[in-house]
Structure 1
Amino acid sequence: MSEPLISVIIPNWNGAAHLPTCLEALRRQTYARREVIVVDNGSTDDSLQVLARYPEVRILALRSNQGFAGAVNAGIRAALGELIALLNNDTEASPAWLETLTAAFERHPDAGLLASKILLFDRRNVFHSAGDYYRVDGIPGNRGVWEIDEGQYDHEEEVFSACGAAAAYRRELFQDIGFFDEDFFYSCEDMDLAWRAQIAGWNCWYVPTAVVYHKLSATGGGPTASFYDGRNFIYLIAKDYPTGLLRRFWPQVFRAQWRIAREALRAWRGTAARARLRGMLAGLLTWPRVARKRPQVFARRRRSDEALFARLTPGVF
C-alpha cells in the first residue's frame, strides 16, 4: 500500500521574517509524499517575494485577511492530500514531524486529528502545548503550557483537542463534520472543530514524537488575541457545549466568565485587558449567530453527554 500524501497548509499574514525558517524545516522532512501550501492573507510585507524562492510551495494569495480559519479552509479546499497538516508560519518542525504524524494515523484508525508536541522556539525545553484541553467550566487551554519538559508528556495518549499551530487531520473528518468555522476568524477555531469531532465520535491523539518549535505569538497575540479569546470562549459555549452538561455546570461556567471579566477590570489600564472586555461584550451581543449552528453540530452526535463529560478537564471552582 502506497504512503498517503500529506498536505501541509501554512496560513500567512505579513510573516516574511518567519517563512524561511518554517519552509527550510519542511525541506528537511524525512517524509517524501508531501505538498506544501502557503495561503497568504493579503500580506503587505515581502511575503510573496520570499515565497518565490521556494518553487516547491504552492501559493494561494487571498485579496484580504480572511483570518486563520478562512485561510486554512482555502488551503484545505486546494489540498490534494488524504491527510492535512496545519502549521503556523512562525514555527520550525523537527525533521521527522510529518513521518511521525503519518505513522500515528496508521496506528490509530479512530483518530480524526492529531496533536503535536509544541515547544517554545527560543526555550526548547519549555512547552507551548502537549495537546489542548477543555474544562468543565467552559475554559480551553494548552496542556503543559510554560512547563519545563521533563518527560511528563512523553506518553502517546488521547487528548481533547490539537493546537492548530501544528496539528494534523484526516480528510474524512472534514467530510464528516465540515471545515473550520470562519465566524471564529482568529482564535478557538481549532477547539470548535475538536468539539464537533468529539461529539461526532472522532478521537484526538497526542503524538509526543511529532515535535515543533513555535515562536509563540510572534505573528499574533496582544490585544487582538485578547479580543478574540474573550469573544470566542463565549462562542464555544453557545455553539458546542452540550445542553445537558450546561444545565449541570452553568454555575461553574458563569463563575469562570465572571472571574475573567473581574481580572480584566482590575487591569483596565492595559490594552489587552480592555480588548478582552470588548471581546466578551461582543460575544454576549452576537452569540445567537453561532448558537444557530447547534442543531447542525448535534445532528452528527455519536457520543452521549456522559461520554463527552469524561473527556473534559475539571474546572477551577
Structure 2
Amino acid sequence: MDTLGFLGPLGTHSEAAALHLNGLLDEPRELCAYPTIFQALLAVEEGQADGALVPVENSLEGSVNITLDALSAGDALTVTLELIWGVRNELMMKYPKERVRRIISHAQPLSQCRDYLKAHHATADLVAVSSTAEAARLVAESRPEDGCAAICTARAGELYGLYALAQDVQDTMANCTRFFLVERAGRSAPALRFAEEPAPEKLLVISQIDGKRAGSLCEVLQEFAVRGVNMLRIESRPARTKLGAYTFFFELEADAAEPLAASVEAVREKSIWLRTLGTFPVLTAANLKGASLWSSL
C-alpha cells in the first residue's frame, strides 16, 4: 500500500485534511505522521514515503515558507493535487470549570484567533508550541490550578479527553489552508473516486531571475500577460545562495495549453533557472462553508 505523510502528531489540521483526502482517493493510502513539514517532504524525496500532504498557504497568515523552500531546493518533487481545507479551531480544556489563565496552541492558530482571544481572554498568557495536537496533549497533562486551555481541532480534544469551551473561535469562517499533495517527480496524479476526474487547473512554476537588472521581473510577467495566461499567485523567497537573490513561485491557470507552454519557455530564457512542478486539479473540502467538490478558479 502506498503511504501518505502529513505533519503530525495525530489530531492536527494536517491529519484532518489527510484523512479527508484519503477518503477521496480511489486507492486509499497508509497515513504516516512526521514531526515537521521538512521531514515529511524529505521522506518523499528519499523514497521513504510515496507522497505528503503539506500546507502551503493560510488565508489569514499567508505562506508556509518551509514548504516553498523545500519545493525550490531540488528537482525530485512534483505537485499532483491541491486541497483547500477550511480551518475550524476550538478552545478546549481538561477542567472546563476553571478560569482560563494560559492558552496553548501553534503560533498560526493563536494569530488566527487574535480578535476572539482579545475579546474573551485578554488576560490569559499565550504559549506557542509545535502543533495544535501538542497543545492538546499539554493541556491534558496540566493541573486544575494551571487554568490551561488549548486552541486545537475537535479530534485532538477527543484524543486527549478535553472539553470544548467554545467552537469556531477563528476570527473568520473564511479561514482556510491550501495543501499540496507532493510526490516524487514522474508520478502521475492519484486516481479519485469521481465519475469524472477533475481537470488540471493550475501549473506551478519556480524560477530565479537576475534581480540586479532593472525591469527583469516586469519582463517575465509580460511573457504571461501578452499570451493571455492568467497568473493566480506570485510569491518570492530568498534563494538561500546570497543576500539579495530570490526565487519566484508562479501559480498559473492551466486552461490554455499552447499559450501556457509558450510563456513558460519564454520565461525560461529570461531566468537563471526554471522548473515546472506539474499541473494539478484543485479540490475544496466540504467543511469549508459554501464549498463545492472542487473549486472554480
Q: Structure 1 length as normaliser, TM-score?
A: 0.26
Q: TM-score, normalised by structure 2?
A: 0.27
Q: Select the structure with the greater relative contact order (CA < 8 A; seq sep ≥ 6).
A: 2
Structure with the bigger percentage of helix: 1
Structure with more of its chain in strand, by fraction: 2
The structure whose Rg is larger is 2
